[in-house]
Amino acid sequence: MIKIILADSQAIFRAGTAKVLAMDEDMRIIAQCTDLDRMHHAITTFPGCVVLFASSLRPDLTRLRMLLETTVSRGIVIAENNETAGGYVQQGYRGVVYRNVNGPSLVECVRRVSAGETWVPPQLMQADSPEEDMVGTRVRDRLTPKEMRIVALIVQGCKNREIAIRLKTTEQVIKNYLRSIYDKTGVSDRLELALFTIHHRVLAQAAAEVGSKLDVEEQAASAPSAVA
């Protein structure tokens, strides 16, 4: 049995990854962590695991590698789509996957790393160029600015009520938009939408940019009241 610790602050991606790995009879997720402290505690508590952790948690990679070695565990980095994998391998990590990794590749990576091998396919040493993602480009171009904002917030793990508040509308309006978004992307629910977005680099980048703009707009809007 391959014991797995999954550490990622993105609830949607964590849920999707757990769902994929749970389908394999030889794998068992024994801990899910949302931050570094919980991850370090889990590694110490459950030695001999494969630790899947997001680079976005920004761990001290040298300290983490030493902790993994001490507990006879192995680390797999979940890299962001704009990162390259080579640097993590050079720092001693056994495996690297991107957020747009498909299920079979993720399972293969965990199996190989668990067996003591290093798993970084050549095609993952550098992310695909945006021009190659025709599906992501087509969907991005079909989504309206309002729909893209909703997609960005879905990827962040926001529920309909929170999205409605942040976009200054109603939950029913958000539900109506979601039906249109599902039709355009070919998915059936918010989890599939988030995973579809993450999987297509062009769409993921567009959602990230929109999400950043939303954060800036909200900060600017709240600035006067904060001063007062």
pLDDT tens digits along 153-208: 988 888 999 999 999 999 999 999 999 999 999 988 888 888 888 778 788 888 88
Write out the residue limits of the CATH 3.40.50.2300 domain(s) in the chain: 2-124
Q: Mind listing the pLDDT tens digit for each residue in 67-107?
A: 999 999 999 999 886 677 777 877 888 889 888 788 888 99
CA distance 130 to 202: 6
pLDDT in tens, 31-71: 999 999 999 999 999 999 999 999 989 999 999 999 999 99
Question: What letter does residue 161 receive in the DSSP assignment?
Answer: H
Q: Which CATH class name applies to 131-227?
A: mainly alpha
**What is the value of pTM for the model shown?**
0.62
SS3 content of the chain, % helix, strand, coil (to 5): 60, 15, 25
Q: How far apart are CA 105 and CA 108, in angstroms?
A: 5
* Token output for 169: 């509308």
141: left (phi over 0), alpha (psi -120 to 50) or beta: alpha
Q: How many residues are present in the chain? A: 228
CA angle 188, 194, 198 (to 5 degrees): 130
| H or E segment to which residue 77 belongs | strand 74-79
Pairing mode, strands 95-98 and 27-33: unpaired
Residue 67 half-sphere exposure, CB side, CA atoms within 13 Å?
A: 20
Does the structural domain 2-124 have CATH classification 3.40.50.2300? yes
Q: Within the chain, which residue ranges are assigned CATH 1.10.10.10?
A: 131-227
The region that residue 74 occupies, defined by phi over 0 for left and psi between -120 and 50 for alpha, beta otherwise, is beta
* Phi, psi dihedrals of residue 5, rounded to the nearest 5°: -110, 125
Tokens, residue 22: 């749970």
Q: How far is CA 96 from the centre of its chain?
A: 13
Return d(Cα 76, Cα 59) in angstroms, integer: 13
Q: How far apart are CA 59 and CA 150, in angstroms?
A: 30
